[in-house]
């Protein structure tokens, strides 16, 4: 689900002296099973503020919300489980078998998710303008939102690894995993567009090393922005 700041590219806002509010924002993306959630957790362990678009989407789909009502209306009451919650697995099975239905779901969910991410980003900007904020989302490039971030990070591994990982953790049939992957931009194309690539195909220690390197570069950007604003003041 695409996420961005209404304030413009990079989430940078002008101040009275034409400086900037210098929170550094990074979009973290990658296909299913690419290791982006592992990378996000590692960024968080280093001190980055992380925002997960899937978690926001789940909250917005809870009973009693506008999104919940629109999904039930658009896809049918058979999606509602005995406890009143949406059967997200069934919904995923429906939309990944029908591109038009996937577009319809995105039309329902995207805008509310965007607004909530914007709210959280604005809150973090006010609390800690020198923070490094990492927004995790699978479809930033597909949704054309990469320009909204100061930097784009792609978690990547070989397609066969993606399939193996996703099947192992979700028990979704391999055929369905490949169908979901086909609905996303190929990993190699995401790599081409990225500012930073984290290759998760090796060990966890190797992934952690790469995350530390990227985080250090993001911190340096925040520091440079702080110094620039101080000079302008």
- Banded pLDDT at 14 (limits 50, 70, 90): very low
Q: What is the pLDDT at residue 225? A: 61
Could you give the CA distance from residue 56 to residue 76 in angstroms, rounded to a whole number?
22
Q: What is the pLDDT at residue 115? A: 87
Mean pLDDT of the chain: 86
Q: Does 16 or 97 have the greater pLDDT score?
A: 97
N residues, the chain: 233
> Cβ of 75: how many Cβ atoms within 10 Å?
19
> Who contacts 106 (Cβ-Cβ below 8 Å, separation ≥6)?
1
Percent of the chain with pLDDT over 90: 66
Q: What is the pLDDT at residue 1? A: 36
- What are the CA-CA distances from residue 83 to residues 66, 86, 93, 140, 194 (Å)? 18, 9, 20, 32, 42
What are the tens digits of pLDDT across the range 125-134? 889 888 999 9
CATH architecture of 9-59+118-232: 3-Layer(aba) Sandwich (3.40)
Q: What is the pLDDT at residue 9? A: 35
Q: Is the pLDDT of residue 142 over 90?
A: no
> Cβ of 142: how many Cβ atoms within 10 Å?
17
* Mean pLDDT within 61-85: 96
Q: Is the pLDDT of residue 2 over 70?
A: no
Q: Is the pLDDT of residue 198 over 90?
A: yes
Residue ranges of domains in the chain: 9-59+118-232
Do 153 and 29 meet the contact criterion of CB atoms below 8 Å apart?
Answer: yes
Percent of the chain with pLDDT over 70: 87
Q: Is the pLDDT of residue 8 over 90?
A: no
DSSP secondary structure string for all residues of 58-123: HHHTSTTSHHHHHHHHHH-GGGB-TTS-B-HHHHHHHHTT-HHHHHHHHHHHHHHHHHHHHHHHHH
> Cβ of 35: how many Cβ atoms within 10 Å?
22
* Mean pLDDT within 213-225: 88
Could you give the CA distance from residue 189 to residue 197 in angstroms, rounded to a whole number?
12
Q: String of b and e for 9-31 (b: at least 16 CB within 10 Å)?
A: ebbbbeeeeebbbbbbbbbbbbb
Q: What is the pLDDT at residue 6? A: 28
Q: What is the pLDDT at residue 222? A: 82
Q: What is the pLDDT at residue 10? A: 39
Q: Is the pLDDT of residue 18 over 80?
A: no
Closest CA to 42 of 156, 202, 198, 188: 198
Q: Is the pLDDT of residue 201 over 90?
A: yes
- Least reliable range by pLDDT among 35-39, 138-142, 151-155, 225-229: 225-229
Q: Does 73 or 5 have the greater pLDDT score?
A: 73
86 phi, psi to nearest 5 deg: -75, 140
């Amino acid at each position: 689900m695409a996420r961005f700041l209404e304030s413009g590219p990079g989430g940078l806002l002008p101040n009275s002296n034409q400086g900037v509010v210098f929170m550094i924002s990074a979009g973290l993306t990658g296909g299913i099973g690419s290791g982006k959630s592992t990378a996000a957790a590692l960024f968080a362990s280093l001190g980055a503020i992380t925002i997960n678009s899937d978690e926001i989407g789940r909250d917005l789909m809870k009973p009693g919300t506008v999104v919940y009502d629109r999904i039930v209306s658009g896809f049918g009451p058979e999606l509602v489980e005995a406890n009143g919650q949406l059967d997200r697995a069934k919904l995923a099975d429906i939309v990944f078998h029908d591109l038009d239905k996937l577009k319809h779901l995105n039309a329902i969910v995207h805008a509310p998710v965007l607004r909530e991410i914007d709210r959280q980003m604005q809150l973090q900007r006010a609390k800690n303008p020198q923070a490094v904020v990492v927004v995790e989302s699978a479809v930033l490039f597909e949704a054309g939102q990469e320009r909204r971030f100061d930097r784009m990070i792609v978690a990547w591994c070989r397609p066969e690894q993606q399939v193996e990982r996703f099947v192992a953790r979700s028990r979704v049939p391999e055929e369905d995993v490949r169908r979901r992957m086909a609905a996303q931009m190929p990993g190699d194309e995401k790599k081409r567009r990225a500012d930073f690539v984290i290759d998760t195909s090796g060990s966890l220690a190797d992934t952690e090393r790469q995350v530390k390197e990227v985080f250090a570069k993001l911190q340096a950007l925040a520091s440079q922005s702080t110094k620039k604003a101080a000079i302008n003041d």
